[in-house]
Amino acid sequence: MNIQEIKKHNLSQFAQDFYGFELKKNSTVRNPCLTNGKDTIVIKRQQDGNYTFWSPTSQNKGSVIDLVIWQENTNMKHACKIALEKITGFTQDVKTGKAQAPKHVEAVKELDQEKLRQLKPVETHPYLESRGIDNINNDRFKETVFIDKHKNAVFPHTDAANEITGYAMKNKNFNGFSPGGSKTMWKSNQLDNDNQLVVTEAAIDALSYAKLMDERDSEKMSNTRFISTEGAFSPEVQEMIKTEITLMPDSTKVIAAFDNDNQGWKYANGLKEICKDMEHKCRIDIPRVKGYDWNDVLVKCLEKIKNIEEGNTPEKEQEIQPEEAMKC
């Protein structure tokens, strides 16, 4: 697939699948108008078949590649690589050049049911373990993480009726969402004594937060549910979050554990407003380092522990207090 073929990919679907954009009420079929809560884009298909966008909220415009440059804050060369990986569902290992993710050459308008049937729950996953996550066989997460035939870690999203609406896919150098699917929420298992709910952007952040919490307070971890929205925060998703809270005890505490970036803070404050309206307590817990998500925090904590064990850390820095485990 060359650059011209990339530019002919349905830009409206691309923005929705990978950057959390959703169609606005005043959107038309001819000129889709989308927003992710912060940015707005208007899309047009040109006579040559290429899709272009312009943003009335910024100075950004151009093709799907320009959208990637804007959203990923990267250069043209890297943006082309990212766009190709997302469109085809294909990424390459730098050393071997082997495909690491599923390939979809054409734009898919409906969720592929056959691919859903091929997903299998897993107890471990190499990529997740490389990111410090080894708790997916815990009762809290058992059979909530799957694998596809291309070895991607898969996190199904479900609607209010618990029907799968799509799924997030993670692997080394790959981050995608099922073509034709819609982002709602991925959920951990629900246990009888749960009295706390953690909401994150990505499922791997939920799993990371759970591992950090388990080290600090295993009893609290055993009473905590986790959900992630993969960056979606539409009115539908907000209503689903309200339902999740309603199904829990009145004393339930909610933790907004989003990324430390502008969008993460927006999600966190939005969740806090939801909880305020519902008269529930909500605590914002954002990583201390700008740009970090909770998986970044977990990886850094594990690196610190490894250095201590190998004697590579000064003695005065070696002790990690339990209350500091969430802040490494």
pLDDT of res. 296: 95
* Residues 33-82: tens digit of each pLDDT: 888 878 889 999 888 888 999 998 888 999 999 999 998 888 888 888 88
Token couple for 93 = 């290992």
Task: State the sign of the Cα–Cα–Cα–Cα dihedral 35, 41, 45, 50.
Answer: negative
Closest CA to 44 of 74, 81, 7: 7
pLDDT tens, position by position, 133-169: 999 999 999 999 999 988 999 999 998 888 999 999 9
Residue with tokens 């990111």: 131
Query: Residue ranges of the chain with pLDDT lower than 70?
Result: 1, 26, 29, 89-110, 312-328
Q: Which residue's structure tokens are 């011209």?
A: 4
- How many residues are listed for the chain in this entry? 328
User: 149 Cβ partners below 8 Å, 6+ apart?
Assistant: 102, 118
Q: What is the pLDDT of residue 109?
A: 44
Residues in Cβ contact with 95 at an 8 Å cutoff, skipping those fewer than 6 apart: none
